[in-house]
Amino acid sequence: MNSKVEDMERQVSDILRMRRASLKDRPVGITVTDDDREKAVAAIKKQRALENARREALHMKRAQDHLRIFSNILRQVTQHKWAWPFMQPVDVEGLQLHDYYDVIKRPMDFRTIREKMEAKDGSGYRSVQEIAEDVRLVFSNAMTYNEVGTDVYVMAKTLSEKFEEKYKFVLEPKLLEERKLRLIGWLTRSAKRYTSCEARVPSHLERSQLNNLEDELEEIKISATSKYRQMLDGFSSYSYLRVCRPMSIEEKRQLGQSLGRLPPTGLNRVIQIIAKNNPSFNAAVAEVEVDID
């Protein structure tokens, strides 16, 4: 960790030295007021907000497309002639299934799924992956409670296989591509943040603005040091990580470009590797964000 921190300290020192050299003999021509600075910051924030809004709009459009595809798959499954036992909650009292709740801890049926899909109070599903898990629960409950070979067991197993086949070949490739786009986008934004730290200081900045730059770079250094410490503490059992040097900005860009060329299956393997080496990384969520550090 010390070598990583020292390396970053050297980078900060180099940046400051170059800034001082560029301003040393330069006459002060334009005074930048606090109002000018606030306007510049506001413009940057506005631009970032617009970029975030456009990015989220694209994400929502793709999410709606995924939901439309999933709804079509679900409709085909529920319209099957063997779907009727799973359309309503199990009538435990009417069928006198006295041990049902001892065996099945979380009952599920297609009516409940449909109601949750249409919920407007914020209690609905957050992704098609969550809906798929409940569909699987319908079939797994039936195959858990009913003995192998019984009518309900065979019906549940048959519909489960049909659902998984359609999900795998129709929807899963699109979900993997979405995960890839989100991951690549996040890596790209992270690389841009690091690049901005090395941007040239505008010629009209006075020495007073250089002091502000030093404070900002110090905050970046502290933040980066904290991230390195957390990363290394989480991976302390992996000795090879302790001798790895920090990636350069160019290497981070190359990493993002390489990930962008991976097929969905390759990206999924990358996520599995990250999850294997980092116990706190959750690869099962719909959206995965990875800190490029």
Q: Residue 243 has what pLDDT?
A: 42
Is 164 within a domain?
yes
Cβ contact 259:183 at 8 Å: yes
Of the ranges 111-115, 194-198, 199-203, 274-278, the best mean pLDDT one: 111-115
Residue 5: is its pLDDT beyond 80? Answer: no
pTM above 0.75, yes or no: no
Question: What pLDDT does residue 206 have?
Answer: 47
Which pLDDT belongs to residue 201?
A: 45
Distance between CA atoms of residues 155 and 146, nearest Å: 11
pLDDT of residue 200: 46
| 292: in domain | no
142-164 residue pLDDT tens:
999 999 999 999 999 999 999 99
Q: Is residue 286 part of a domain?
A: no
In a domain, 38, yes or no: yes
The CATH number of whichever domain residue 160 belongs to comes to: 1.20.920.10
**What local confidence, expressed as pLDDT, does residue 47 receive?**
76
Instruction: State yes or no: pLDDT of 74 exceeds 70.
Output: yes
pLDDT band at 141 (very low <50, low <70, confident <90, very high): very high
- Number of domains within the chain: 1
Degrees, nearest 5: CA angle 284-288-292: 135
Is residue 217 a part of any domain in this protein? no
Q: For residues 12 and 221, is the Cβ–Cβ distance under 8 A?
A: yes
Instruction: Work out the average pLDDT over 203-230.
Output: 55
Domain range holding 94? 31-196+245-277
d(CA 41, CA 47): 10
Percent of the chain with pLDDT over 90: 32
Q: Which residues contact 111 (CB under 8 A, 6 or more apart)?
A: 87, 88, 89
Mean pLDDT of 195-210: 50
At 13, the pLDDT band (50, 70, 90 cuts) reads low
pLDDT in tens, 43-55: 777 777 777 777 7
Asked if the structure places residue 129 within a domain, the reply is yes
Kindly report the length of the chain.
293
Q: Residue 8 above 60 pLDDT? A: no
Round the average pLDDT of the chain to a whole number and report it: 74
The proportion of the chain whose per-residue pLDDT surpasses 70, expressed as a percent, equals 53
Q: Looking at the predicted structure, is the pLDDT value of residue 25 above 50? A: yes
Task: Please state, in angstroms and rounded to a whole number, the distance separating the CA atoms of residues 37 and 50.
Answer: 20
* 101 within a domain of the structure (yes/no): yes
Answer yes or no: is 88 within a domain: yes
Q: Which helix (H) or strand (E) segment is 281 a member of?
A: none
The answer for 104, left when phi > 0, alpha when psi is -120 to 50, beta otherwise, is beta
Where does the pLDDT of residue 101 fall: very low under 50, low under 70, confident under 90, or very high at 90 and above?
Answer: very high
